[in-house]
Amino acid sequence: RSRIAVLASGRGSNLQAIVDAIAAGSLHAEVVAVLSDKPDASALAKVPPERRWAQSPKAYVDRAAFDAALGDALAGFAPDWVVCAGYMRILGEAFVQRFSGRLINIHPSLLPLYKGLHTHARALEAGDAEAGASVHFVVPELDAGTVLAQARVPVLPGDTDEALAQRVLVVEHPLLIASLQWLVAGRVAEREGRLEVDGNPLFSPLRL
């Protein structure tokens, strides 16, 4: 069983989807740790106390010091895969390099559109007909790593940020699980910033 560690800052519905998929037998893995920059994040309660690590960055002198502590804690759980699922703090380059190749993120936009925050508001403002979510490998540049898979939803008349966010969230969960199924089965490899699936180059993201 693959060892999955999850970084989360909030609610943890994507983490819950992982926990549920494992319990249902559809994801051959184990959530070995949940780590957070928010000691009160509800995501933490989804695993037993010995699998939790949470610290406020305010307790550290700078980003590098926080990242080093996070990285040391993470390494202690010996994860095969590290999933950023609603982790809202930028990860520094040293951290990203340390876990490179096994660090993925789920982002609520159709990357390369709308890196960073307020993705849904920006999609609405642009008048986009579709929105969605992407699962990508993490690189030091924000939300810029190779995209493994995407799921799309329509933008509907009268949509608010919240309504669109909720519609996207519904497809995030199966998107993340499908991505993890491919990863833990060893079907995906990243070489020099390009993805291969079953040994063949992936020219565009998998579609859910």
Catalytic residues: 107
Comparing CB distances to ligand GAR, the nearer of 98 and 107 is: 107
Closest residue (Cβ) to ligand GAR?
Answer: 86
Distant-in-sequence, close-in-space partners of 41: CB < 8 Å, separation ≥ 6: 8, 9, 10, 11, 12, 54
3-state secondary structure of 168: helix
- Flag whether 12 is marked binding: yes
Are 31 and 22 in contact, with CB atoms under 8 Å apart? Answer: yes
Comparing CB distances to ligand GAR, the nearer of 52 and 194 is: 52
| Segment contacting ligand GAR by CB under 6 A, of 6-14, 57-65, 73-81, 179-187 | 6-14
- Does 145 participate in binding ligand GAR (rule CB under 6 A)? no
Burial class (CB in 10 A: 0-12, 13-18, 19+), 186: exposed
Site of tokens 């519904």: 170
Task: Map the footprint of ligand GAR across residues 12-71, applying CB under 6 A.
Answer: 12-14
List interacting residues with ligand GAR (CB under 6 A).
Answer: 8, 10-14, 85-86, 88, 106-108, 133, 169, 172
